[in-house]
Structure 1
């Protein structure tokens, strides 16, 4: 199984984990903006969610329609077991690569 994740996929998956069980487009956007101190375009988030779902790393489910959204329902996302394994493998690889390095200008 290919567990390779792009950085955008990693951060979207981490935002889903932080927001569960309330992980939907806007809540993921807000979490990324808060944690990364920058706005990630909604189009990027939705394209990434679509890619992750095609890979079987996340799954979506439709919530209830709400009056505040003009009767439209939110799509909620959760990480699958396969996605959790891919995220763990990807983050572990980064940790191994980063271990023992000293970033220039970084505080100890």
Structure 2
């Protein structure tokens, strides 16, 4: 097991990066909103990405300049092998915990 502790938002953004080869902030926001059914700000995404990059879970690079962006380059992010390992370990721990929830627990939410 790794020694990484991730918050829910970090974990969600890491999974989004694992879903795609590489992505930038606006794309991450679109996927987040699609799957989580709620909006997220670009500054929040960039703050999380910087934090995860310091932890070695993601890495960034710059894409080519584009005329649509006035010659500016997009900062692209991708998950690292360590990021994949950490996300996979979290998933395994959650699956193990869910397997121990009694099936009777599922009846509590049904009216």
Shorter chain as denominator, the TM-score bin is 0.7 to 0.9
What displacement does 1:10 show?
0.8
Match of 2:77, SS state, is strand
Write the deviation string for residues 48-100 of structure 1: whole angstroms up to 9, x where unpaired: 00000000000001000111111110111111111111111112222222224
2:78 equivalent to 1:78: yes
**What secondary structure sits across from 2:64 in the alignment?**
strand
Greater shift, 85-94 or 7-16, is seen at 85-94
Q: Which of 101, 105, 108 is the matching residue for 2:109?
A: 105
TM-score by length of 1: 0.88
1:40 maps to which residue? 40
After superposition, the CA RMSD in angstroms is 1.7
Q: Counterparts of 1:1-108 in structure 2 under 5 Å?
A: 1-21=2-22, 23-101=23-101, 102-103=105-106, 104-105=108-109
Runs of 4 or more above 6 Å deviation = none
Gaps of 5+ in 2: none
Conservation of the 8 A alpha-carbon contact between 1:3 and 1:90: no
Structure 1 unaligned blocks of 5 or more: none
SS in 1 for 2:74: strand
Question: SS in structure 1 opposite 2:63?
Answer: strand
